[in-house]
Amino acid sequence: MILLNIAFYAFIAVVTIQVIYYLFLFSKFAFLHPKQETPKDIAVSILICAKNEADNLKKFLPYILNQEYPDFEVVLINDNSHDDTLDIMEDFAAKNNNIKIVNVIPTEAFFGNKKYALTLGIKASKNEFLLFTDADCQPNSKYWLQEMSAHFNQTKTIVLGYGAYTKIKNSFLNKLIRFETLLTALQYFSYAKSGIPFMGVGRNLAYKKEVFFNANGFINHMQVRSGDDDLFINQVATNKNTSICFTKESFTISNPKTTFKDWLLQKRRHVSTAKHYKATHKTLLALFYISQFLFWTLAITLLITTYSWQIVLPIFLLRILIFYIVFGKTSKKLDEKDLIIFLPFLEIFLIGMQLTIFITNLIAKPKHWK
């Protein structure tokens, strides 16, 4: 009985924490309406770092080149590929005069380091405004470049975009991946709107070249193989220099992993990077995930034992209602409406997977890049 008493009061505290996150942090994005920015028509360099991406370049590069935009170049960075990536790049370059190829020859000091390859690409780019995506990404419209670049101004030198994943029917893994991506986007968009931006995704991210060089590039975390997107943004983003772009025309769409093994390896890499975030961000993120885990653990325990169920059940339903409202709004905003009916199940399963990833990472370090 004493343990159940402790669990009951802990449950109330955990729900309070969760409600604060959803109502005072995540709602800042969930209830935000897209602001139509005036197109800037500034010269932009699109950077794509590719390692063994010949097939993806053939499939998706035409969507990049066909953007409705007056002045842009595409910097293709071949990061020591051993397939036909460089040949495909050269074929496209022969037919498009706005393509620049950077062929990265590995050095002993930076062997297999994507940040080194990206640094060479950034230095080779001719424009001040940089837009990053991956070789397996397709812009959601021919106005992707226009939408993202429109958010630059005299003070906003970083633009965070949304990198969605292709929907696959009758696939639970696909729904889980897209839910995790949706949750991540809800977090980094909400944190940015709250003045504490902490990350962006390399599938859809833009910043001015001066931001990169003023920070001495990736030098502060060059030893960390991953994090060319989130660690860099964690370092340089502030409440004054960061903007978010989430119009549907600005999305990029990528092919998700199709096996749990591949997805878990990808998430292990991402999670291992987060430990290098600023202390404030690590604390806020950890508090949310711990309270999320404890909410379901304590709720199930108290409801099974029927301990003070007349109080526990309404509190449980209140949190679920707030969760549904915030995620429902976010799902519609980011075109993930098909996830709404599965939200609680996806949340529970994702918590279990995150716990598995955390424990696995404590035992062995994940591999990086390709």
| CA pair distance 292, 294, nearest whole angstrom | 6
pLDDT at position 222 is 85
| CA pair distance 149, 129, nearest whole angstrom | 8
| CA pair distance 304, 313, nearest whole angstrom | 11
| CA pair distance 320, 314, nearest whole angstrom | 10
Confidence of residue 275 (pLDDT cuts 50, 70, 90): confident
The letter for the amino acid at 303 is L
| CA pair distance 326, 174, nearest whole angstrom | 21
pLDDT at position 102 is 97
Helix spans in the chain (H): 2-21, 27-30, 54-65, 85-95, 114-124, 144-149, 172-193, 209-214, 230-236, 260-274, 279-305, 309-333, 343-363
pTM above 0.85, yes or no: yes
For 66-79, how does the pLDDT look when each residue is reduced to its tens digit (9 = 90+)? Answer: 999 999 999 999 99
For 183-195, how does the pLDDT look when each residue is reduced to its tens digit (9 = 90+)? Answer: 999 999 999 999 9
Confidence of residue 359 (pLDDT cuts 50, 70, 90): confident
Share of the chain above pLDDT 90, in %: 81
The letter for the amino acid at 263 is W
Give residues with Cβ within 8 angstroms of 103, minimum separation 6.
78, 86
